[in-house]
Chains A and B, each alone.
Chain A
C-alpha cells in the first residue's frame, strides 16, 4: 500500500479534475481507480466508503475524503497553497468559489440537451468575459504581481489556469481582451509542475466526449 493519495472517479474530468490539477501543481504523485461499471459503484456504496454515496472519493492520509471542496481545501492546506493567514485564505476562497461557479457551467455542458448547447455556450462566454475574467484581470493589474494572492503561488492560481484553459477549449479567443490573464497563463504554464501536467502522458484528462457522458449516465442513473 503506497503512501500516495488514491482518487476514485470516472476516467474523465468532471468534478475530480481540479483535484488532479492541485495535486499535480503541488508536485504530489497520485493513483487513480477508474469507475467503469455500475457494479463497481454499487460495491463502493455497499462497502460504506462513500459518506454521501457520491464520488469524487480521495483516500489521503488515512481519510476517505468526499466533497470536492473539502478535498481541495485539505490539499491546499497541507501543501502550503492556501496563503499565509486567515485574510489571504479568505481571498483565495473567494476567488476559487467564483472560478468554481464558472467551471460548473462547463461541467454541466456535456450533459445538456443538443438544442440547449448553443445557448449554454453563449452563457459560458458571457459569464467568462463579463463576470469572472475581468475580476482576475483587475486583481493582477492592481498589484502587478505574478500570482493572485500574497505574491505567492496558491490554489487560486491553479484554479484560474485550469479555468482559462477549459474556457479556451470552447472559445479559443476568449482571452483577447485580457492582457494580464494572457501573461498569467504563459507564466503559470511554465512553472515546472504545471508544465509537466500539461504534457502528454500526464494524469490530466481530455475534454469530455460522448463516451464519457454515456459512462457517467450508465453508472449513476437514478
Chain B
C-alpha cells in the first residue's frame, strides 16, 4: 500500500497530497516534486512517439533507497504519483495500475462535481476516503 499519494495539476502544482502521518511530510513533498522531472521527460518522449494512443500509466519513475515512485498521467495532463515503501516487495505492477485506475475514476468524479473549479485543490471527502483506503494503515 502507498505511503504517499499525490495529484498534480497540469501546471505542476499540487492539487492534493496525502502521506502517512508517521513520517516526515515534507520529505514526501520533495519526493513527489522531484519525480515530476521524470514525468515531464516521459510525457515529452511519449508525445513524440504517438500522441493519442499514449499509455496513461508511466510505471516506476525512479527508485530511491527507501521508496519506489510510480507515475500516471491523464489525457488532460493531470498527474498522479504514488509512493510506496521499497521494502514492500509484495506489491505487483498490476496492483499499482489498479490503484491508479481507482484514483483516476475518483478524480473524474471530483471533476464532474459542478461546484468543483478545475485547478483548485481537491477537498472532496469521497476522494479523501478512497485515498485513505489505499494508504498504508497506521495502527
A and B bind: no
Contact residues of B with A, CB < 8 Å?
Answer: none
Contact residues of A with B, CB < 8 Å?
Answer: none
